[in-house]
Amino acid sequence: MSIELVHASRNGQVENIYRGDVVVVNLNGEVIYELGDRFKKAFWRSSAKPFQVLPFIEGGGIERFNISEEELALMCASHGGEKDHVAGIKKLLYKIGFVEPDLHCGPAPPMYKPTANELLQQNKDWTQLHNCCSGKHSGMLAITAIKGYGTEGYEDIEHPLQQEVLKLAAEITGVKVDEIGIGVDGCGAPIFYMPVFNMARAYAHLSKPVMVEDLKRAEAVQKVTAAMTGHPWYVAGTGRLDTILMEVTEGRLLAKLGADGVYCVSIMGEGIGIALKIECGVIKPIEPVIVEILSRLNYIDRREEEAILKQLDFYIYNHRKEAIGRLRSVF
């Protein structure tokens, strides 16, 4: 069962307790480290994005549309909706022959609060381009163009595009197609329900593409990891954990947030993957948990840990911006 991972306190008194499950596995499926239940099921959410783009790459999409690494990183991103993120999505859509109304992700406020506040102050609406999943949806549209599937209902699980992605998810995680639960993400696309163990297993493969048996798949995975670790700002954005981890470690880690308390990390070159689920779905406790695990298992050194912590803030503030509590890992 899930265990206590983080306490939130005020004036030293515990107010909230965040429970969850963590597993670290290698390419052989051997468990290196575990907290809670390795078989705890959750929706993979946006942590699946590096794999959802693989049919695009395997179908020759990078070459056909002259896609840059930054644009490929956006396809894998839960971006902050910052100015250059939006500009990148516009350029990506132009390259693949689509426009904003073709996206079925829906308008959403930018995850980067200063940008959201700026739009409000200017009395401007946020658009589908600001949606953190607009890159993923652009990639899905591109797959329909490559495969000739048609765009009508491209986000529905019955669509051949989504059936192809589902089959790929089964192959990369080791969960049979008929054992993967299907839900609908905030952006309208299908999401996959499975044990955190299998999420970690997929990220172990992501960490060492040369060990992927199928050569075409291995080359596609290599392109994904190069884009994400080489351009981490496009994967998340300013002040975001994904970007911080990849920048500080200079690409030795690959990290990807999933909504509602899901987080996955690859230790690049080591064949090791990490998956975390915060039981109640709150995102903020992810940060102290992930940093503690990376430090405890020596996946980051002291210098890197200090550089990461310098950019994160575990304090709790009141409306007067006074620090009145903090989050602490307790495992």
- The pLDDT tens digits of the residues spanning 57-98 come to 999 999 999 999 999 999 999 999 999 999 999 999 999 999
Give the pLDDT of residue 76: 98
d(CA 8, CA 311) in angstroms, rounded, equals 19
Q: What's the rounded Cα separation, in Å, for the pair 63 and 73?
A: 15
> Residue 30's closest CA among 246, 270, 192?
270
3-class secondary-structure state, position 329: strand
Predicted confidence (pLDDT) per residue in 117-127, tens digit: 999 999 999 99
The predicted-structure confidence for 212-231, as pLDDT tens digits, reads as follows: 888 899 999 999 999 999 99
Tokens (6 digits) for 229: 């670790």
Distance CA 263, CA 203 (A): 11
42, 196 in Cβ contact below 8 A? yes
In the predicted model, is pLDDT for residue 210 greater than 80?
no
pTM: 0.96
Confidence check: pLDDT of 257 > 90: yes
The neighbour count for residue 280, using CB atoms within 10 Å, is: 14
Strand residue runs (E) in the chain:
3-10, 13-26, 31-35, 41-43, 181-184, 190-195, 253-258, 262-267, 272-278, 315-317, 323-329
Find out whether 265 and 291 touch, Cβ atoms under 8 Å: no
* pLDDT on residue 213: 80
> How far is it, in rounded angstroms, from Cα 139 to Cα 72?
8
Residue that has been written with the tokens 């491209």 in this structure: 154
CA angle 208/165/134 to nearest 5° reads 90
Residues 228, 104: Cα–Cα separation, whole Å: 24
Domain ranges within the chain, ordered by starting residue: 3-329
Rounded-to-integer distance, Cα 74 and Cα 61, Å:
14
d(Cα 160, Cα 166) in Å, to the nearest integer?
A: 10
Whole-number pLDDT of residue 91: 98
Measured in whole angstroms, the distance separating CA 103 from the mean position of its chain's CA atoms is 20
Residue type, 84: D
Cα(29)–Cα(211) distance, integer angstroms: 13
pLDDT, position 285: 98
The DSSP string of 218-264 is: HHHHHHHHHHHHH-HHHHS-TT-HHHHHHHHTTTSEEEEEETTTEEE
Distance CA 231, CA 244 (A): 11
Question: Is domain 3-329 annotated with CATH 3.40.710?
Answer: yes
Phi, psi for residue 121 in degrees, rounded to 5: -65, -30
Nearest to 144 by CA among 96, 107, 183: 96
Closest CA relative to residue 89, chosen from 220, 77, 186: 77
Res 120: pLDDT: 95
Phi then psi for residue 89, to 5 deg, are -65, -40
